Amino acid sequence: MKLRIIYDKDLCIGNKACHAIDPKHFIEAEEKVNLKDAVKEKNIQVLEGNYYTEEAEKFIEAAKACPVNAIGIIDEETEEEIVTTKVKGEEARRVKANYDDTKEFVIDPAGYFLIRINREEKKIEVASCNEKNKIELITYGEKPIDIYQTILNKEKVNIRKDHAAYLGRELQKAYIALKNDLEYVQDEEIILNK
């Protein structure tokens, strides 16, 4: 398969998802990556080649994993953009957000979370409680992403989507409070100016 791979290093935020999938071609370069053997023009790196299916699939998987669309892939025979770096939004619907917590809130039958800051250990702690008020899991960590990924994907705590969004929101508040020595009370706004 003849492919043209285009990598825009300016867009790269260095999360290295591409490297994790295809370390042979996306080489670590300090905080970002470089596309191995690519021709460089300023921060654009271009690589062209004829690849076996398995190698081509790795390129495509790596490009699709990029959260900022920094990697584009073009089929050189058909000129089809297999993975595009352009965000297309011309046909997107635009809606004004609206939600009334007092009328639309739905309790998650799976249970609830108790979230607090442990200042001595500089950690955030989350107790996952079932519907019978029994704590089934205590998860602690420093960064919101570590905690919610552990709860949702590793420990497979099965909750509603809006409850997962709530967890992320509360964890970010707790993180800001911990970092800035502010009071954190679950479900309340953080008071920024003490």
**123-129 and 81-83 beta bridge pairing:** unpaired
Which position among 4, 15, 164, 172 is part of the footprint of ligand SF4 (CB under 6 A)? 15
Counting Cα atoms < 13 Å in the Cβ hemisphere of 178 gives: 22
Which of residues 34 and 139 has its CB atom nearest to ligand SF4 in the complex?
Answer: 34
Residues 17-46 that bind ligand SF4 (CB under 6 A): 17-18, 26, 32-33
Taking the complex as a whole, how short is the minimal distance between the CB of residue 84 and ligand SF4, in angstroms? Answer: 14
> Measured between alpha carbons, how far is 138 from 9 in angstroms, rounded to an integer?
40
How many residues lie near ligand SF4 (CB under 6 A)?
A: 15
Is 48 strand, coil or helix? strand
Q: Which residues contact 83 (CB under 8 A, 6 or more apart)?
A: 60, 63, 64, 71, 72, 73
Cβ atoms within 10 Å, residue 63: 26
Does 71 interact with ligand SF4 (rule: CB under 6 A)? yes
Taking the complex as a whole, how short is the minimal distance between the CB of residue 108 and ligand SF4, in angstroms? Answer: 33
> Measured between alpha carbons, how far is 40 from 180 in angstroms, rounded to an integer?
42
Which position among 3, 5, 12, 151 is part of the footprint of ligand SF4 (CB under 6 A)? 12
Which of residues 15 and 130 has its CB atom nearest to ligand SF4 in the complex?
Answer: 15
Which of residues 68 and 138 has its CB atom nearest to ligand SF4 in the complex?
Answer: 68
The two structure tokens encoding residue 41? 């023009």
Does 177 interact with ligand SF4 (rule: CB under 6 A)? no
Residues that bind ligand SF4 (CB under 6 A): 12-18, 26, 32-33, 65-66, 68, 70-71
